[in-house]
């Protein structure tokens, strides 16, 4: 059974685990910010409590942590998402949870993300999940999925 645990309710142990994952070089290399300190991480978690435009979740499969999913720039009609898994093969599970939360809990119409061009694993996961590339620049692909099932 998949459980989403809101970052604002994490235990100290979970906070430290998420920070360790986030700073892992295999994850951090595909993030816009690198090497976050514990102080910065705790400040971020405190700000999440009052920020209605962001939701972050630690994802459990039964009692095992498998990754993190997040939603930012949440509006009535759209949001952006991010994810990172810590085990091979969890991307599909995380993506299913992202789509479910975005379309059935947030009730948005459009789900967006930007992905580093060199992050081919993420791009392939998004494309297999029916996202469409709607734009690109030198560094990123911008992908989108509508609640009607396709890119906008």
- Could you tell me the residue range of the domain that residue 24 belongs to? 2-107
The whole-number pLDDT of residue 89 equals 86
Give percent above pLDDT 70 in the chain: 94
Instruction: Evaluate whether residue 25 is within a structural domain.
Output: yes
124-142 residue pLDDT tens: 999 999 999 999 999 999 9
Task: Specify if 123 maps to a domain.
Answer: no
Give the number of other Cβ atoms within 10 Å of residue 30's Cβ. Answer: 14
Is residue 52, in this structure, part of any structural domain at all? Answer: yes
Q: What is the pLDDT of residue 88?
A: 84
In a domain, 43, yes or no: yes
Task: Residue 12: give its domain's CATH number.
Answer: 3.40.630.30
Quick check: is 134 in a domain?
no
Q: How confident is the model at residue 46 (pLDDT cuts 50, 70, 90)?
A: very high
Asked, for residue 44, whether it belongs to a domain, the answer is: yes
Count of domains forming the chain:
1
Per DSSP, the three-state class of 46 is: helix
Within-domain flag for 132:
no
Q: pTM above 0.85?
A: yes
Question: What are the structure tokens assigned to 109, written together?
Answer: 């119409």
Residue 90 lies in a domain: yes
Which strands form 110-116's sheet, in the order they lie side by side?
2-6, 55-61, 64-72, 78-85, 110-116, 140-146, 132-136
């Amino acid at each position: 059974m998949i459980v989403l645990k809101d970052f604002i309710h994490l235990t100290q142990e979970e906070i430290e685990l998420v920070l360790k994952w986030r700073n892992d070089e295999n994850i951090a290399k595909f993030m816009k910010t690198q090497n976050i300190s514990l102080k910065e991480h705790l400040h971020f978690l405190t700000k999440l409590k009052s920020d209605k435009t962001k939701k972050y979740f630690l994802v459990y499969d039964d009692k095992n942590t498998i990754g993190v999913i997040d939603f930012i720039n949440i509006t009535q009609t759209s949001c952006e998402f991010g994810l990172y898994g810590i085990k091979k093969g969890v991307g599909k599970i995380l993506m299913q949870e992202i789509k479910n939360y975005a379309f059935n809990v947030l009730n948005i119409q459009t789900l967006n993300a930007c992905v580093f061009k060199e992050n081919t694993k993420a791009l392939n996961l998004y494309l297999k999940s029916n996202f469409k590339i709607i734009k690109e620049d030198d560094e990123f692909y911008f992908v989108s999925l509508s609640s009607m099932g396709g890119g906008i």
